Amino acid sequence: MFRKYMQDLINWKDRSNRKPLVIRGARQVGKTYIVREFAKKHFEYFIEINFDETPGSKDLFLHDDVGMILQYISLEKDLPIIPGKTLIFLDEIQKAPEVFAKLRYFYEKKNEIHIIAAGSLLDFVLAEHSFSMPVGRIEYMFMHPMDFKEFLLAEGAKSFHDFISEYQLNDGIPESIHNKMQDYLRIYMGVGGMPAAVREYTQSKSLRQCEMELNTILNTFRDDFSKYGKKVDTQRLQLILDKAPNLIGRKIKYTEISRDLKSSDLKASLILLERARIMFRIHHSSGNAVPLRAEKKERDFKLLFLDIGLVMRSLGLNILDIQNNNLIIANKGSLAEQFIGQQWLSQFESHELPELYYWNREKTGTSAEIDYLFQVNGNIIPIEVKSGTTGSLKSLHVFAAEKKSAVALRYNLGKPVFSDVTSRIPGKEQFTFKLLSLPLYMISETKRLIKNN
């Protein structure tokens, strides 16, 4: 299956100043798969060491001399290590943090060697490391589930993929094409972007088999809870995992998760799930200037799940439940918000740690709220996500008028529209801004369309 991260790996391979690459991402987002495919296409020799399957392999790295380490690896695997021709892959490296610490020496002494490390619970290990971090001597690549365009290619719908990629705002969209894109969108919402689930659906077209694969992934996450540390309450992690899909799109109050547990304990467990990259917190920002993180409010946040297919399965829903738009509307836009947030995460450059923000009016007695705030070309863009083709944009008008936004975005189920809109907020001067309305399935083209217009 096509993954856009392949080009990032190729670019890394060809750079003379590259550093050991560490791939970070949740379990089963495709880290191991893409490295193996990368090795098949671009290297003569591939050495894979999985520290979960062979924990004793860490003994190969006991020596402080990198040259000796490479000799030991070559002898153990009976393969030559030749610069430019051999790729070394250290999988599940969180099981051997002492090896992670030694990656710095590969950069300092043997940077001609291509070496990649990955681990599904790596973020958790890094947060509580007791070893010397190789700061400045490694580089990261953040991986996410397959986005909607990658899903289209996996489905064999390259013509629709290309249609989205080449679309311009002055182009019309025939009703039949628009409806077909909506069909693909609904399928994606049910299947999600976890590679195993996508592969199962595209090969078998069996909803039952796809559901079983999604259940397996969720159960794998639960099995991982015991690996998070002896001080972790696995029941709290399970509780949050079960509750989170019903809380998407809402400002989190810990009492909605449990009235019996301390908020400090729930927060600690939520942070662990975030480190495992199963969940993401969307923090409040006042949205006055870039960067958005400068006005981040740590206590105010909403939740985003790793993958919309996993959300649907957790809610007991499947593709058949969304054969029309009623389900998306009935869920008050939470599924649409999950879709948009997930797609935006995947649009960050792979070397960037992704961050998402939202806004609500902080004045007492007001209720205006913007689903997302994004930075595009140095500007703050307010975004409203609508679950249908219509809906009030009151909050968007309030934000645009208060912050003097030049452009605002709306995602919905309608066709693209780009127009001038004038806000008329009582007690405030009228303000005119550009409103770009895009169908949910065209989110990947947002930045391009804004730049071109």
310 with 393, same domain? yes
Both 11 and 87 in one domain: the answer is yes
Please give the torsion angle defined by the CA atoms of residues 234, 239, 241 and 245, in that order, rounded to the nearest 10 degrees.
180
Q: Which residues pair with 284 in a beta bridge?
A: 297, 358
Is the per-residue pLDDT at 188 higher than 50? yes
* Number of neighbours of residue 213 by Cβ within 10 angstroms: 25
Whether residue 104 sits in one domain with residue 202:
no
∠ Cα 394 411 176 (to 5°): 130
Q: Which amino acid is at 142?
A: F
> At a CB cut-off of 8 Å and minimum separation 6, what does 326 contact?
none
pLDDT band at 131 (very low <50, low <70, confident <90, very high): low
Please check whether residue 1 is in contact with residue 154, taking contact to mean a CB–CB distance below 8 angstroms. yes
Q: Indicate whether 182 and 37 sit together in one domain.
A: no
Torsion of CA 245, 331, 287, 402, to 10 degrees: -160
166 with 264, same domain: the answer is yes
Residue predicted with more confidence, 432 or 325: 432
Least confident of 6-15, 57-66, 143-152, 366-375: 366-375
Q: Where are the alpha helices (DSSP H) in 102-206?
A: 103-109, 122-127, 148-154, 158-166, 175-191, 195-204
Instruction: Say yes or no: 210 and 323 in one domain.
Output: yes
Tokens 């409010």: give the residue. 297
What's the confidence (pLDDT) of residue 200? 96
Of 142, 162, 191, the residue at which a domain comes to its end is 142
pLDDT of 320 strictly over 90:
no
What the block records as the tokens of 451 is 């730049």
| pLDDT mean over 195-200 | 97
pLDDT by residue (tens digit) across 218-242? 999 988 887 765 667 889 999 999 9
Q: How many CB atoms lie within 10 A of CB 394?
A: 14
Asked if 147 contacts 193 with a C-beta cutoff of 8 angstroms, the reply is yes
Taking alpha carbons only, the member of 194, 223, 196 closest to residue 209 is 196
- 331 and 445, same domain (yes or no): yes
Query: Average pLDDT in the 331-336 region?
Result: 73
Q: Say yes or no to pLDDT of 290 above 80.
A: yes
Q: Are residues 120 and 170 in the same domain?
A: no
Which of these ranges, 50-59, 148-157, 252-261, 360-369, has the smallest mean pLDDT?
Answer: 360-369
Of 142, 162, 190, which closes a domain?
142
Of all residues in the chain, what percent carry a pLDDT higher than 90?
A: 73
Lowest-confidence segment of 139-153, 218-232, 395-409, 427-441 by average pLDDT: 218-232
Give the chain's radius of gyration (CA, Å).
23
Domain-ending residue, one of 107, 142, 177: 142
Mean pLDDT value of segment 160-176? 96
Does 127 score more than 70 pLDDT?
A: no
User: For residue 198, how many other CB atoms are within 10 A of its CB?
Assistant: 24
Lowest-confidence region among 106-120, 133-147, 212-226, 318-332:
318-332
Q: Please determine, for residue 22, whether its predicted confidence score (pLDDT) is greater than 50.
A: yes
Q: What is the CATH number of the domain that holds 104?
A: 3.40.50.300
**Which is nearest to 223 in space by CA: 136, 349, 105, 121?**
121
Residue 330 is predicted with a pLDDT of: 45
pLDDT tens-digit map of 101-113: 899 899 999 999 9
Q: What is the DSSP letter of 189?
A: H
In angstroms, rounded to a whole number, what is the distance separating the alpha carbons of residues 103 and 119? 14
Confidence of residue 212 (pLDDT cuts 50, 70, 90): very high
> Looking at the structure, do residues 62 and 180 belong to the same domain, yes or no?
no
364 pLDDT more than 90: no
136 and 181 belong to one structural domain: no
Cis peptide bond prior to 291, omega within 30° of 0: yes
Does the pLDDT at position 321 exceed 80? no
Q: 436 pLDDT exceeds 80?
A: yes
Q: Please, what sign has the CA dihedral across residues 415, 384, 354, 32?
A: negative
Q: Cβ distance 195 to 32 under 8 Å?
A: no
Beta strand 379-385 with 407-412 is parallel
Mean pLDDT value across residues 125-129: 65
CA-CA distance, 39 to 323, in Å (whole number)?
Answer: 40
Most trustworthy range by pLDDT among 58-67, 153-162, 359-368? 153-162
Range with the largest mean pLDDT of 158-167, 285-294, 389-398: 158-167
Q: What average pLDDT does this structure show over 320-344?
A: 73
311 and 251, same structural domain? Answer: yes
Is the CB of residue 20 less than 8 Å from the CB of residue 116? yes
CB 123 within 8 A of CB 277: yes
Which domain, by its residues, includes 334?
Answer: 149-452
Output phi, psi for 157, to 5 deg.
Answer: -100, 50
Res 170 pLDDT > 70: yes
The model's pTM is 0.92
Assigned token pair, 431: 């303000």
pLDDT of residue 329: 45
pLDDT tens, position by position, 240-260: 999 999 999 889 999 999 999
Q: Please tell me the least confidently modeled range out of 197-211, 223-237, 427-441.
A: 223-237
Residue 178 and residue 52 share a domain: no
Domains: count for the chain? 2
